[in-house]
Amino acid sequence: MHQNRRSFLRNLGLLAATSVPAADLLAGAVAKKPAFEISLAEWSLHRALFAKKITNLDFPVIAKKDFGISTVEYVNQFFKDKANDTAYLKDLLQRCNDNGVKNHLIMCDGEGELGDKDEAKRTKAVENHYKWVEAAKFLGCKTIRVNAAGQGTADEVKKQAVDGLSRLSEFAGKVGINVIVENHGGYSSNAQWLTSVMKEVNRKNCGTLPDFGNFCIKRKPGDWKVCEEEYDRYKGTQELLPFAKGVSAKTYDFDASGNCVETDYSRIFEIVKKSGFKGYIGIEYEGDKLSEEEGIRKTKQLLERVAFA
């Protein structure tokens, strides 16, 4: 009996000794769970898409099989006439399901200006986006990305954009879809202006998509590659993050060490992390020195090294 008791205590000690490290390991695993997930923006492959080398239907499979990315962000112009095509959307969704790909958002362009000074045109722009809200819902997306463009002074366009975004967000909110605005040129690339728009819209499903490389407010006439007026990207990112429902990791070029030339990713991700943002970081390679495939891979490697450090 005495021996059995000693054996029991010895075994209990061994159990305790092994269970504590296991608990520590479990706690460590939970603590190290990343705040971010990588997604792939379809614009990263825009040259191949425009050249008809690939199609929008190919995109989710390419994201998963070629780059190991399981979440995608579509660009509406690559399936412009398919928003109401149920058979097409079913085919696209089936390809995603077959390959374990999640649909995150649809970037919407060319549907009119949500800040148009003409009320009838602004209403038409709002209504033009309805089909993309519905397509996003069908595909299992959470979000559509729109633009806050218009004509007039900063205050005039702000008032107009607040109206357009409020109405579109009200419609989208009924089916659980977010409406987010990217800093995408003009007034929207002024982060103070865009945050003031968000504050006035004041809807939970309306937010921002900070794009690290899109803070050019004014481009040189005749040469869009030259920026004449630019908002500070680090300040702008910090200001937009409280409203963010996604982040666009824009890259153009890389140095010999694999760092982004135009944006200090270590610095900008310190800002992202301090903001408490959790969600998708979308790869959007837009350079022309590397192939699209190599640019995507280098951006992914950079994110894995910096964002998850």
pLDDT at 258: 97
| Integer Cα distance of 230 and 184 in angstroms | 12
pLDDT-based confidence at residue 104 (cuts at 50, 70, 90): very high
Q: What is the pLDDT of residues 35-65, one digit of tens each?
A: 899 999 999 999 999 999 999 999 999 999 9
Phi, psi of 265 (to 5 degrees): -65, -30
Please check the confidence at residue 6 and state whether its pLDDT lies above 80: no
Express each pLDDT in 179-218 by its tens digit: 999 999 999 999 999 999 999 999 999 999 999 999 999 9
Give the start-end residues of each E strand in the chain: 36-41, 71-75, 102-107, 143-146, 178-182, 206-209, 216-220, 223-230, 247-251, 279-285
Question: What is the mean predicted confidence (pLDDT) over 223-243?
Answer: 94
SS3 label, residue 34: coil
pLDDT band for position 33 (50/70/90)?
low
- In the predicted structure, residue 26 carries a pLDDT above the cut 70: no
> Distance between CA atoms of 186 and 149, rounded to whole angstroms?
7
The pTM (predicted TM-score) of the whole model is 0.88
Query: Which pLDDT does position 5 carry in this prediction?
Result: 45
Average model confidence (pLDDT) across the chain:
91
